[in-house]
Amino acid sequence: MTSLVLLPGLAGDAEMWRDQLRDLAAWRPQVSDVHMRHASIPEMAAALLVRHPGRLTLCGASMGGMLAMEAARQAPSRVAGLALLGTTARPEDDAMRQVRDKALALFSQGRVAEVIEPNAAFAFHPRHAQDAALLARYTGFVLRAGAQQLVRQNRAVMARPDARPHLPAIRCPTLVMCGEDDQLTPIDRSREIAALVPGARLVAVPECGHMLTMEQPGAVNAQLRRWLARLD
């Protein structure tokens, strides 16, 4: 039997998959926490493959997408399908590395809220950035993760491998989704992934930023159900 595993983004937990856990219940989704337990993307992928034996259907958002691509590289015969949401296959660039270095310095001092709360709106489409309840859900799980996890997970993302050389070898059904207005992982990153993976399907979600699963759950879940039905 194939297991559906949902892979959260950086500092994420089951809260970012709340709507998917309900709407995709027929596929018995499980939310992974390997990103909370290991120090690098390759280590996370290896642990994921050990924790979830057998064939896997992987749905990863942002950092979770990086983890899904690495798992597919490590064990291609075990991955039955990939859904890659708001992610990138590229390694870290110098500009983003400088941004993260500044944030890490503050996280290391325990000044998490000082970084997260003023910048939370950048993760959303401008319309959704005005939704106080949505922002509270997002900042809630990031703050729950805490300074130590934010430091470790950011370092893992900064050191991530370049996934692009391995994407043409993927043979499983692959869905690539991105918010049309994603400011954190621009849509050209998703276009690049879809162009490299044979047969991949690219979906741009209108009026949506980086947090697809929370901003546009209806549209996202419809695409995921279609993808899962194809796998079935």
The domain spanning residue 20 has which CATH number?
3.40.50.1820
Percent of the chain with pLDDT over 70: 100
Three-class DSSP category at 207 = coil
Q: Tell me whether residue 119 is in a domain.
A: no
How large is the C-alpha radius of gyration of the chain?
Answer: 16
Domain that residue 38 falls in = 3-92+156-231
Q: What is the pLDDT of residues 213-229, one digit of tens each?
A: 999 999 999 999 999 99
Any bridge partners for residue 82, and if so which? Answer: 58, 174
Q: Tell me whether residue 80 is in a domain.
A: yes
Helices (H), 17-93: 18-23, 41-51, 63-74
| Opening angle at CA 43, ends 72 and 92, nearest 5 | 80
pLDDT of res. 177:
98
Q: Tell me whether residue 207 is in a domain.
A: yes
> How many domains does the chain fold into?
1
Q: Name the strands in the sheet holding 30-31, side by side, starting at the edge strand that comes first in the sequence.
A: 30-31, 3-7, 56-61, 79-85, 174-179, 201-205
Q: Tell me whether residue 198 is in a domain.
A: yes
Q: Tell me whether residue 219 is in a domain.
A: yes
The answer on pLDDT for 1 being more than 80 is no
DSSP structural state of residue 206: T
The answer on pLDDT for 74 being more than 80 is yes
The structure tokens 């729950």 sit at 144
Q: What is the pLDDT of residues 106-155, one digit of tens each?
A: 999 999 999 999 999 999 999 999 999 999 999 999 999 999 999 999 99
The backbone torsions φ and ψ at residue 184, rounded to the nearest 5 degrees and listed phi first, read -95, -40
Q: Tell me whether residue 107 is in a domain.
A: no
The answer on pLDDT for 57 being more than 90 is yes
Any bridge partners for residue 176, and if so which? Answer: 84, 202
